Structure 1
Amino acid sequence: MSNETPAGRYRREQEEEHERLDRHWAELLQELRLAQTGTQILFAFLLSIAFTNRFQDADRFTHDVYAITLVASALAAGLFLAPVSFHRIVFQQKMRDRMIPIASKMTSAGLVFLTLATTGGILLAIDVVLDRRWAIITATGVLLWFVFFWYALPTWIRKTSRNGSDNGDTSGP
């Protein structure tokens, strides 16, 4: 039997909640560091190719794919940076419990746009070296690869897991 008072238990539970939120925020930031780097490199590459002579002479299909890919890349970058801005605005307002789920959704949406941007980048690059039909087939294969490994497999594992998470903590980002 514990000698802990209700007030002591409340303080311990609050500290545990604070520690859990800190851990989730740190995990989310680490994920964002990885996603931001790749997205920024892709975005810089896409910005640079628009000014090449070969791209200027490209057909409508290439320009359309490029525009969609560039916008998807910009949206992904914006969504991956949004939690930083969000944190700056609500910093020291004791809103981490509200901020983390929103930042997590921003990150998930950023991954969707990164999937589209990467697929579009592959389509643009492969269209230069292969027949367009093969470029489309290859880009579709890459898209399906992303959908399987980034969405379908984790969703399946989560649904078939006995407790819904790998450590029993279902309140993650």
Structure 2
Amino acid sequence: MAKQESLRTSECPVARTLESIGERWCLMIIREAFDDVRRFSEFQKNLGLAKNILSSRLKQLVDVGVFEICPASDGSAYGEYVLTDKGRTIFPIVVALRQWGERYMFEEGEIHSVLVDNTHGEPVQPLEVRSCDGNTLGPGDCHRRRVISGESANPLCDPPVS
């Protein structure tokens, strides 16, 4: 069997992302964090996950900068896992997975949850991929281009620097 190169060094951003946060328990932990879960015991209770697996995945998520460990907000001796700015930017990924699941993974009449906007009490609008001028894009409307990290892929769509 051929030895698989680590996805951590792949040129593909999808591969690197999956290597970092794509394992199912990592995504479920992140989902819980978006529901304001912060403590190890709360993650374990909500997910029903073995302590060793939970500990390993939380360490991985801290190592890649998705979480930071902070003193407990209630002043107790426990630490809390708090999403970093990097971690909070995963929200659209979780929403996209959720919306796909809402649409395709339930039979008619089957009970499931939906993500609801706190202000209006209505389901969140479906995510869409858009061009820099606002047009909706599908897979046939896009292609990959190699770039060097830090350089703009398209200066015409970059926001002005202030």
TM-score range, shorter chain: under 0.3
Q: When the two structures are superposed, what TM-score results if normalisation uses the length of structure 1?
A: 0.25
More strand as a share of residues:
2
More helix as a share of residues:
1
* Higher relative contact order, chain-length normalized (CA < 8 Å, sep 6+): 1
Structure number with greater Rg is: 1
